[in-house]
């Protein structure tokens, strides 16, 4: 399928990371999401019920980022992908990119991140 809802630059504060200070002081994370879903019906009837409500998608991601803690970006991205696939039945696959905007490293680095793609049959993996 080639239909994709693209959400770029969602910035949220969370307490994720391996270092002790990262687990106690919120830091900024940035997400990009690519939601693969058949958009033909929505394109034809102009009805929100025929597509994915990206407001609901963003609320779910926000709840995960602000309400849970992960040591690794990989685990954070995996959880976001799995929960999106579990909650939104129309969603066939999702690409989740997450970047830590202030990585705690000793060099000048703009961000550190991961990008994963998951399909409906991999939702619980």
> Do 112 and 99 touch, CB atoms closer than 8 A?
yes
Annotated catalytic residue 13: no
CA distance 13 to 28: 5
Dist. CA 62–CA 122, nearest whole Å: 22
**What distance in Å separates the CA atoms of residue 14 and residue 28, rounded to the nearest whole number?**
7
Residues 33, 49: contact at Cβ < 8 Å? no
The catalytically annotated residue of 36, 99, 100, 118 is 100
Write the DSSP assignment of 30-51 as a string of letters: EEEEEEE---HHHHHH--GGGS
Query: Token pair of 16, please?
Result: 């994720």
Active site residues: 100
């Amino acid at each position: 399928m080639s239909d994709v809802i693209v959400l770029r630059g969602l910035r949220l504060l969370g307490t994720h990371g391996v270092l002790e200070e990262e687990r106690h002081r919120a830091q900024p994370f940035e997400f990009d999401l690519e939601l693969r879903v058949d958009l033909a019906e929505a394109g034809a009837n102009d009805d929100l019920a025929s597509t994915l409500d990206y407001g609901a998608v963003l609320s779910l991601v926000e709840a995960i980022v602000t309400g849970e803690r992960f040591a690794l970006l990989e685990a954070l991205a995996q959880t976001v992908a799995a929960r999106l696939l579990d909650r939104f039945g129309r969603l066939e696959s999702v690409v989740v990119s997450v970047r830590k905007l202030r990585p705690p490293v000793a060099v000048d680095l703009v961000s550190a991140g991961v990008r994963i793609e998951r399909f409906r049959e991999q939702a619980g993996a």
